[in-house]
Amino acid sequence: MKQLSDSVATLSGVGPKRVETLKTLRIETINDLLTHYPFRYDDIQEKKLEEISDQEKVVLKGIAISDAVVNYYGFKKSRLVFRMMVDQAVITVTFFNQPFLKNKIHSSEEVAIFGKWDAKRKSLTGLKIMATQQQEEEFAPIYSVNKHIKQQTLVQLIKQGFEGYGELVEENLPDYLLEKYKLMPKKQAVKAMHFPESIEENRLARRRLAFEEFFLFQLKMIQLKEEETAKEHGNPILYNVEELKKFIKTLPFELTNAQKRVANEICADMRSPYHMHRLLQGDVGSGKTMVAALALFAAYSASYQGALMVPTEILAEQHMESLSELFENTPVKVALLTGSTKTKVRRQILAELVSGEIDILVGTHALIQEEVQFSNLGVVITDEQHRFGVNQRKILREKGNHPDVLFMTATPIPRTLAITAYGEMDVSIIDELPAGRKPIETRWALPKQLDSILETMRGLLNQGQQAYVICPLIEESEMLDVKNATEIYEHLSAFFAPTYNVDLLHGKMKADEKDTIMQRFKENETQVLVSTTVIEVGVNVPNATMMVIIDADRFGLAQLHQLRGRVGRGEKASYCVLIANPKSEQGKERMKIMTETTDGFVLSQKDLEMRGPGDFFGAKQSGLPEFKVGDMVADFIMLETAREEAINLWKRPEWIHDKNFEALAKSIDSATYQLNHLD
């Protein structure tokens, strides 16, 4: 019997070699093939060059007026350039790392290029060469393919797939939802993604399938969350309320309302017999560490140990310091364990952890090594959790007696992403800063103004204050970062000599070297710290009141916001200067937004809109589900609706009587999402 799960090898024209090729496109079954939707439709609107906005993706059609020239640089890197006449204008087209396209460009021949338009330089960064004959069709599907398979071949296979299997596509949404939202039936929708009768039909197909994707995703998240929280062996941490209250009274300040609220949420989780699986979000300086301390103290009061894990040694030491201070007048014993803890001390710490003498362990990933055993671990808190690898977090969670887990992050996560990336977690948000914080005044300047900015800096140094200078990231090479930072460091040293001391901090340094430098800066032995982004998270030197960020346009908004959060931590007014000369309109826009708001949530939402979800957390660890049709930013309202409907459905046991129930259940089961924190 034919099934959608049949291998594509059953199609004619698909032998072992083609099976391999299709696999690289993640097409293995007929179902994969039918749902390998076009990534766009060639809906050519004849736009005039002046009408195309900067960075817009367009198809430009014209005549090549030069052959393509390929230049190689770096490792496996190349740039292919040719000129082309569009209307009456000559533009430059550049393709990166696709030297093999050279044979497709011939002077005087017609070409059509899909790419990104740079309005100022009148140039197109090519993404794809389009077949010119397809231009005649008004609405042609364009698939992502590779050099082993052609568009036309794929289209033929999909057609064949529909002929043989199209009837087997099953409706998997409950009837009441199809009616309520006027959703297109699945069979029609899948087909209309490939071979729409009209643009409108295609639009409705997309709408239906996007809804389905979001809906299934949410159901899966709910299921996972139930599994996660309902696991056996959760510890009810029966903390001592009186002791906790007494401890709060000893703090040098009143907790903000937001801190009280989230502390209550966390405490309630700890008290319950289920696993805590919670994300704590709060802007830089909102007082998360304080909340973490409360949770750790609560665990201590119930005779449980706690662990606080952070991504860098600098941070670990800082947390160690502030916790030791907070717990100074209590019997709580805090210890620090990092990669550079000396063997002898380390041995003692390990022994005291097992014996239960140490109540709280602060550290880097050294915390999760096998030899580190606790006597009674109740709660684990990780700071800036998205910087930890999947396995590291998993190991931590499995340590001890299935501890409660709290993830803290200072990256404000827009709601869209919170729903998708953390769908299965509970979320607490600190949306309020302690009173009396002065906003950081931010300005945007051009590189040639650097020395005059340094004069301003000198003025602040003269008043006894300190400053950071942040160097840009260059590509992915840490060595280049270092070289670049070194040059900037030398310039500044010379500039401020002999009155003020300048130091350099970068990621290639040994941990103890970094520590020495941080220590010198904290003690105001150095007044200016030149640093790469290793400084980014959590570092706290309230006397530093100015930050200059060089080539600021190379950073994402969320990251700039993080960096900027290193100043404005004391009572004095603070300044941030972004040095950048962005070429694109979008780059300028980004700099402008930074000068206009210090609200992390506003910035992160903008960042998301401008760079897309994939780049938000940094490309390597986005941890976001890959939707085929839905766009979590553009289709945000639909995402919210699907989420509500998923929650409703889950609450209604009678849904299993829907005639499409079985198909839906099957879809949920087979849904897989690569989420970095789910393992």
Binding mask 288-317 for ligand ADP (x = CB under 6 A): xxx---------------------------
- Residue closer to ligand ADP by CB (options 285, 507) is 285
Token pair in block for residue 655: 């849904």
Question: Considering only residues 77, 253, 268, 674, which one is a binding residue for ligand ADP as defined by CB under 6 A?
Answer: 253
Query: How many other C-beta atoms lie within 10 A of the C-beta of residue 72?
Result: 11
Stretch touching ligand ADP by CB under 6 A, among 93-101, 248-256, 356-364, 554-562: 248-256
CA–CA dist 281, 262 (Å, integer): 10
CA–CA dist 260, 276 (Å, integer): 18
Within its chain, how far is the Cα of 6 from the centroid?
Answer: 36
Question: Considering only residues 286, 305, 382, 526, which one is a binding residue for ligand ADP as defined by CB under 6 A?
Answer: 286
Return the closest-CA partner of residue 426 out of 646, 262, 308, 627.
Answer: 262
- Which of ligand ADP, Mg ion, none does residue 632 bind to, with CB < 5 to 8 Å depending on kind? none
Least spacing, CB of residue 677 vs ligand ADP, in Å:
20
Q: Is 287 helix (H, G, I), strand (E, B) or coil?
A: coil
Pairing of strands 334-337, 77-86: unpaired
Stretch touching Mg ion by CB under 5 A, among 40-48, 494-502, 530-538, 654-662: 530-538
Residues listed for the chain: 679
Return the closest-CA partner of residue 673 out of 643, 631, 628, 640.
Answer: 628
Q: Could you tell me how many residues of this chain bind Mg ion (CB under 5 A)?
A: 3
Query: How many other C-beta atoms lie within 10 A of the C-beta of residue 438?
Result: 12
Least spacing, CB of residue 253 vs ligand ADP, in Å:
4
Does residue 298 contact residue 243 with C-beta atoms inside 8 Å?
A: no
248 touches ligand ADP (CB under 6 A): no
Return the closest-CA partner of residue 58 out of 71, 43, 68.
Answer: 43
Question: Considering only residues 161, 196, 287, 378, which one is a binding residue for ligand ADP as defined by CB under 6 A?
Answer: 287
Return the closest-CA partner of residue 365 out of 345, 390, 347.
Answer: 390
Question: Considering only residues 99, 434, 507, 618, which one is a binding residue for ligand ADP as defined by CB under 6 A?
Answer: 434
Stretch touching ligand ADP by CB under 6 A, among 281-289, 332-340, 385-393, 497-505: 281-289
The residue type at 533: T
Return the closest-CA partner of residue 461 out of 542, 524, 519.
Answer: 524
- Which of ligand ADP, Mg ion, none does residue 256 bind to, with CB < 5 to 8 Å depending on kind? ligand ADP
- Which of Mg ion, ligand ADP, none does residue 255 bind to, with CB < 5 to 8 Å depending on kind? ligand ADP
Least spacing, CB of residue 210 vs ligand ADP, in Å:
36
Q: Residue written as tokens 């005044």?
A: 441
Q: Using CB under 5 A, which residues numbered 255 to 314 contact Mg ion?
A: 288-289
First to last CA, the chain: 36
Does residue 297 contact residue 327 with C-beta atoms inside 8 Å?
A: yes
Least spacing, CB of residue 366 vs ligand ADP, in Å:
21
The residue type at 307: A
- Residue closer to ligand ADP by CB (options 507, 570) is 570
- Provide φ and ψ at 608, rounded to 5°: -60, -45
Q: Using CB under 6 A, which residues numbered 405 to 424 contact ligand ADP?
A: 410
- Which of Mg ion, ligand ADP, none does residue 306 bind to, with CB < 5 to 8 Å depending on kind? none
- Which of ligand ADP, Mg ion, none does residue 290 bind to, with CB < 5 to 8 Å depending on kind? ligand ADP
Does residue 110 contact residue 63 with C-beta atoms inside 8 Å?
A: yes
Least spacing, CB of residue 384 vs Mg ion, in Å:
8
CA–CA dist 157, 14 (Å, integer): 9
Q: Could you tell me how many residues of this chain bind ligand ADP (CB under 6 A)?
A: 14
- Which of Mg ion, ligand ADP, none does residue 115 bind to, with CB < 5 to 8 Å depending on kind? none
Question: Considering only residues 38, 378, 472, 538, which one is a binding residue for Mg ion as defined by CB under 5 A?
Answer: 538
- Which of Mg ion, ligand ADP, none does residue 612 bind to, with CB < 5 to 8 Å depending on kind? none
Least spacing, CB of residue 212 vs ligand ADP, in Å:
39
CA–CA dist 572, 594 (Å, integer): 20
Site for Mg ion, rule CB under 5 A = 288-289, 538
Site for ligand ADP, rule CB under 6 A = 253, 255-256, 259, 282, 284-290, 410, 434
